[in-house]
Every structure is written in structure tokens, then in C-alpha cells.
Chains A and B, each alone.
Chain A
Amino acid sequence: MDLSAINPVLLFASLMVAATPVLIAAIGELVVERAGVLNLGVEGMMITGAICGFAAAVTTGSPLVGFIAAAAGGAGLSLLFALLTQVALANQVASGLALTLFGLGLSALFGQNYVGLKPPPTARLDIPVLSDLPVVGRIVFGHDPVVYFGLLLLVAVWAFLKFTRAGLVLRAVGENHTAAHALGYKVVRIRVLAILFGGACAGLGGAYISLVRVPQWTEGMTGGAGWIALALVVFASWKPWRVLLGAWLFGGVTVLQLNLQAAGLEIRAEYLSMSPYLVTILVLVIMSGHRSGSPGSLGRTFHASQ
């Protein structure tokens, strides 16, 4: 065993990369859930984003176009969910699971011609001087733009929910849709917008995997990241900053596990792989002591005549 081989700076830098896809997807899902909707189709939207982004980037040669297409693809798929749950008033749990099944199939079908291709590289930010700083340079200034986008998105969502009137309305809809409706807010319209935002975020998170983290296209390549994103939202008890903490913890456990193995430490990989889920459960239990802030109308169907 040689733990000295583990470089904490690189470890932290990798952790940020590993955390980015689930972070972005989880921020989206957080907004959806704060609006009172439980969309379990994150995995399906992520994989759809992964292939849409990949296809667009390969075709146009531009990663930026790829990410935009990914957001559009994820939002497009989430529109189906919105139609089902907000217009046809179908059950959200079942619709979300069906969405994942559909997204996995659709992406595999669509992606058949994109196997074995290499996407255009997404440049790493390389600021002279700053990126060369010891420690800080690599952790803070050495990433690709999407990592920073994820962090900015987090700040933006936090500010939106906390300080804006629109954010307040969104939370009101999520807490008690009947009351919000009585106050004259368009519950369905707000929820549809939130769902679309969630879909776009999931799509972006998926594209980060296919365009930056791997980068290639393979069927089912998101490998359960969507479920982790769902877990993160609860782990964070619906608070944006804790999503970041959770994403880093998840990413950290993943990267640390690999590092410990590579350093020759005798650990049981399967027990380490379990730990993020067990930690989430533990956090849920601890949080329950305080008012955990689960949106009051989460997962409930709304119809104006009620």
C-alpha cells in the first residue's frame, strides 16, 4: 500500500469533474421538486441529452452546439412527462419510470450511427499564470467551462429561489398547489416550465458524460447517474448548496475508491460503492429531526377543480 501516490490536489480536481454531471442534473430536479413535481425520469433525460449532445457536436464539430442540443433534447423528452402529468394528470411515479424506459430506448435507437466516433474536444480553461498556480491553479482554474457553468447554475438557482418573486411563486406552488391556485397563480404553467428546466439540466449533465468525461457514445452510458441525481436532491433536503456538498461527496467517494484501489489498499469495492446510498439514508434520518423541507405537494396531482 502506498498512499503517498494519492495526490490530494488531483483528487479534488477529479472529484469536481466526477461530480459535475450529477450536480447539473440534480439542480434541475431540485427546481422541479420545489415546484411540487417528482420526475423519476432523470436517467432517461440524461441519456437522451448525452446522445443529442454527442450527435450535434460530432455533426457540427462544436461542443457548444452539442451542449445546446443536449439541453434541447432533455427538455424535449421532459415535455412528454409534462404532458402526461400536467395535462393528462397521470401518476408522476409511473410516468417518470416510463420516461426512463423510453429515453433509454430512444437514445439507443438514435445513437446507433454514432458508436465508435470521437467528439470534438471541449477545451480546458487555461488561464496563463492563474492555471499554473500551485494547488489552487489545478483545482480552481484548470477545468473545462462546463464545470464552472454547473457552479454558476447552482448560484443562479439558489438566488432565484431565495430572492426573486418568481422563485417565491414556484415554491408556493410546490408547498400547496391548492392555495397557490386560489391566489391566482398558474400552477400548471409554472410546473411545466420547471419540468422543462429540469429536463434541460438533465440533458446537459448527460452530455457532460458523453462529451467531456468519457468522451464517446455507448448505449446506457449514463449508468445510473440519473438516480444518483435524484438521491442528491433528497440528500440536500431540497436546498441548493447542499446539492453541491452532496455531489462532491458522491464524486469524492467514487474517485477516492478508485484511488485507494490503485494505491493497493485492501478494501472491498462493493462496500465502498454502497456507501453513498447508505450515507444518503443516514442524512435523511438526521434531517428528519429538523423540519426537512420536503415540498408539501411533492408528487401530488393537481387539478383546478379540486
Chain B
Amino acid sequence: MLRLEKRPQPSKTLSYVTPVLAVLITMVAGGALFAALGKDPVVAIRTIFWDPLFGQFAFYYLPQLLVKAGPLILIAIGLSLGFRAGIWNIGAEGQYILGAIFGAGVALACYPLEAWWIFPLMVIAGAFGGFLWAMIPAILKVRFGTNEILVSLMLVYVAEQLLASMSIGLMKNPDGYGFPGSRNLQQYPSAHNAELIPDTGLHWGVVAAIVVAILAYILLNRHILGFQIRLTGEAPRAARFAGVKPPRLVLVCMGTAGALAGMAGMFEVAGPAGQISAGFNTGYGFTAIIVAFLGRLHPFGIVLAGLLMALTYIGGEAAQSALQLPGAAIQVFQGMLLFFLLAVDLLTNYRIRLTKRETA
């Protein structure tokens, strides 16, 4: 009979080994799926995992990896602080949208003025937009005890409607022949979040993601607030005795997550996306939740998880166009990867023991 026994401490070694194991299992299962669809499994797996990194066009895909991973990492790190403390903000998608609306709003209000301060102001506005949106569930939780999971989720849909409304109304490009969508910020130098070094994919959002990962690491390991966050997540009662004020923690964690998600949205709208349009948000806020867990809520784990997730997107697209695999198959493949990654985490936290008979 198999029995699970909780490890006193999560295994350090296994926390490195298990993600690799999950990727390997996914390659096997995914290969079977692709074979079932009549494609060469080896070629498919190589196209997804190998070619973007080491193939002929890696010079293009590697920068794209950063572009795709940047917002995921930025959002996921913000979320991970709350998740560690047991605060469940799952509305990052909405905070991301609000950040984009606020950031783009500043840019469009200043258009066509060219000035150095516009972009920094947009960053602040973007962070503020996300912060504001996250404060709604945070304050409601602190003041009324409402469930933040649901309020933050509901607000995603409100934000989407707001975005649609902005793209056909207030922010519509006056020179766009009546089509929905704002002016393209890529064509507005003061507001454009351009690549810092051409063809590297490195824009301010990616820089911010790296900086934030380092800051989060320092915060969690060296700062009293990080200690309080970890303690609250692991032993809420002990945390209270240690002087942690839960309401303050909720506001800080939600606010930080919102501000980071808002910044991610702002960097995206001013850079890769370029404009406010109804389809601007493509699910980064939700994917980031998964990234946060895949990274085991650890800042550097999240960086790796974000890159891995980005790889499956970019490699998946490559497989779609090179092998004419259906996009749905790629989605299933990603789903599998997530399942396996989540499942193998069991080995990190628990020991599997063989016992003679079932104990009650």
C-alpha cells in the first residue's frame, strides 16, 4: 500500500529535479498526442523545445522569448507575494488591463507632445491603474471580509468591458477611419516602450521583470515584511502573535501585485502591442497565476517558469505553422505540461512510503 508522508521540509534537490521530470513526461505524452495526429513526434517536440533556443532562427526567437516572458514574470512575482501569505488575487488580468488603459491614457493625453518625462509618467500611471483596481478587492476584504478571489475575478470582466468601451469610444484613434483601437504608441517616440538594444527583445518591461525578481528575492529573504508574508502563509496564528497585522498585509500584497500587473500592461501597450484595442489582453494575467505556481512562488523559480511557459507558446506557434499542427493540439500540450508540473510537486513536499497495510 502506498502512503504519503509529509516531509518536514520540502526537498531542495527534488524541487530542482521535479520540473525537469515533468517536462520529460510531457514530451512523452505530448509526443504520443502528436503521433496520434499523424505528425512525427520527435520533429514536433524538437520544434517546440529545441528550435527556438538553438535552431536556425534562434536569433529571432530568443528575444521573442523575453518579450513573451517579461509580462508573465512581472505579474507572477507580484502575485506570488500574496499567494505566499494566503491572499488570492486572481484578477491580475483586470489589473493588467487597467494599467494599460491608464498608461496609454497618459500618452494619448500628451499626444503629440514630445518630452522625456512622458514615459516615466506612463509607468507611474500604469502602476497606479493596476494598484487602484487591486485595491477594490483588497479594501473590500479588509473592510467587509469579502472573498478576494471572487471580487478580483469579477473585476476582470468589468475591466474587459471597460477596455472594449475605451477602444471604440474615448481612446479611439481620431485618424483611424472610424475603426476601433487607439493611436499606435509605437509611432509616438516619447511614449514608445522600444527595445533598448535592437533585436534583443529587451524592453523596459523585461528589465523591470528582472529587477523585480531580484527585489522580491531580497524582500522575502532579508526584510521583515518578507518574513511576515512567509509566516502568515505557513502559520497564520503564529503570525498574529508575532505582531503581523493581516489587513495591512492584504493591502500591501494586493497593492504590489496590482501595481506590477498594471506596469506589465502599460509596458505591453506602449511596446509590443502598441495600442488599446478590444483584444489587447491575451490572458497574461491568468497564465501568470500558473507561472507563479510552476515557479513554486520563488522569484527565480518564477523567472524560469515564465521562460518555460513562453517557450511553449513560441515553440508551439512554430510547430503550428511549420508542421501544420492544429492550435488546439498545442493548447492540450500546454495543459498536459501544467498538469504534470503540478502533479510532480507532490514528490517535493511528500515522501511516498510503502506500507504493509492501510492505517486509519
A285 touching B153 by the CB < 8 A rule? no
Instruction: Give the chain B neighbours of A105 by CB distance below 8 A.
Output: 328-335
| Stretch touching chain A among B143-151, B194-202, B215-223, B259-267 | B143-151
Interface residues of A in 80-121 (CB under 8 A from B): 80, 83-84, 88-91, 93-95, 97-99, 101-109, 112
Contact of B346 among A88, A234, A274 (CB under 8 A): A88
Instruction: Give the chain B neighbours of A287 by CB distance below 8 A.
Output: 146
C-alpha gap A281/B147 in the complex (Å): 10
Which residue of chain A has its CB nearest to the CB of B328?
A108
A289 touching B144 by the CB < 8 A rule? yes
Judged by a CB distance under 8 angstroms, whether B268 is at the interface is: no
Measured CB to CB, the closest approach of chain A to B7, in angstroms, equals: 11
A90 touching B140 by the CB < 8 A rule? no
Contact of B157 among A90, A98, A102, A227 (CB under 8 A): A227
Contact of B329 among A38, A109, A268, A299 (CB under 8 A): A109
Please indicate which of the listed interface residues A97, A101, A303 has the most CB atoms of chain B within 10 Å of its own CB.
A101
Instruction: Give the chain B neighbours of A270 by CB distance below 8 A.
Output: 161-162, 164-165
Judged by a CB distance under 8 angstroms, whether A273 is at the interface is: yes
Judged by a CB distance under 8 angstroms, whether A4 is at the interface is: no
Judged by a CB distance under 8 angstroms, whether A7 is at the interface is: no
Measured CB to CB, the closest approach of chain B to A190, in angstroms, equals: 16
B161 touching A273 by the CB < 8 A rule? yes
Judged by a CB distance under 8 angstroms, whether B293 is at the interface is: yes
Judged by a CB distance under 8 angstroms, whether B90 is at the interface is: yes
Instruction: Give the chain A neighbours of B319 by CB distance below 8 A.
Output: none
B147 touching A284 by the CB < 8 A rule? yes
C-alpha gap A277/B90 in the complex (Å): 15
C-alpha gap A287/B334 in the complex (Å): 39
A303 touching B339 by the CB < 8 A rule? no
Which A positions have Cβ atoms within 8 angstroms of B? 38, 40, 80, 83-84, 88-91, 93-95, 97-99, 101-109, 112, 219, 224, 227, 230-231, 234, 268, 270-271, 273-274, 277-278, 280-281, 284-285, 287-289, 292, 294, 299, 303, 305-306
Considering the complex of A and B, which 3 residue pairs feature the smallest CB-CB distances, nearest first?
A105-B331, A102-B335, A108-B328
